[in-house]
Amino acid sequence: MATSSAPDYEGEVRELVQSLIAGCIQEISSEVPLETISIPTGPEINPEECMETIEELIKSWDLDGSWLHHTSYTGVRSVGGRAIHSFSVMFSQPSRRKPAPRATASVFFFFIVEGEGTETSTTVFYVVESQRVVLRPSTPFREVWLRKIISSKLEINSRITLK
């Protein structure tokens, strides 16, 4: 039985993600939500309500009609007294010739619930796969971000030969 000599980075990755989330919470604590988008509030927000908000946000983006997406709830974590609900939205552009996409691009949404009882507030932000920038709902989304991710993945796949 072969053993893998690859290093285990799980602890470092966890620490990096927690650091990123903590930094994002600090940076966007003064965020004012968009008036046109309904953001769920209350101590017990419902993942379905959050998914509806995500759908509203995506509809407000100026995307070509050929994009399809699937939204998944990835769970809730408690960090520093805050509940962080996480979602993953996978985008693809299937076509008649290639109905199964060869590559996808993801956008990760986070709903942060702070406070207790009636004194709760919800903050929303999202991160585009392979980017380090934390975006707010009021930030204009650029379709080119998705296109670049997919083209990068296709280029990498073309260079890899499986034996």
pLDDT tens track for 67-108: 999 999 999 998 888 889 999 999 999 888 888 988 999 999
Token pair 């959050």 is found at 50
Q: Is residue 49 part of a domain?
A: yes
Say whether pLDDT at 3 is over 70.
no
Stretch among 11-20, 25-34, 59-68, 107-116 having the lowest mean pLDDT: 25-34
More confident residue, 27 or 93: 93
Q: Is residue 50 part of a domain?
A: yes
Q: Is residue 22 part of a domain?
A: no
The helix (H) or strand (E) run that includes residue 27 is helix 10-27
More confident residue, 33 or 16: 16
Average pLDDT over residues 112-137: 88
Say whether pLDDT at 41 is over 60.
yes
Whole-number Å distance between alpha carbons of 68 and 91: 6
Torsions phi, psi for 75 (to 5 deg): 125, 180
Question: Model's pTM, two decimal places?
Answer: 0.74
Domain ranges, residue 56:
36-159
Q: Report the domain count for the chain.
A: 1
Q: Is residue 27 part of a domain?
A: no
Q: Is residue 7 part of a domain?
A: no
Whole-number Å distance between alpha carbons of 51 and 108: 12
Check residue 30 and give its pLDDT: 39
What is the band of 145 on the pLDDT scale with cuts at 50, 70, 90? very high
Token pair 């993945």 is found at 153
Q: Is residue 126 part of a domain?
A: yes
Whole-number Å distance between alpha carbons of 83 and 76: 7
Check residue 31 and give its pLDDT: 40
Q: Is residue 99 part of a domain?
A: yes
Token pair 């080119």 is found at 144
Q: Is residue 23 part of a domain?
A: no
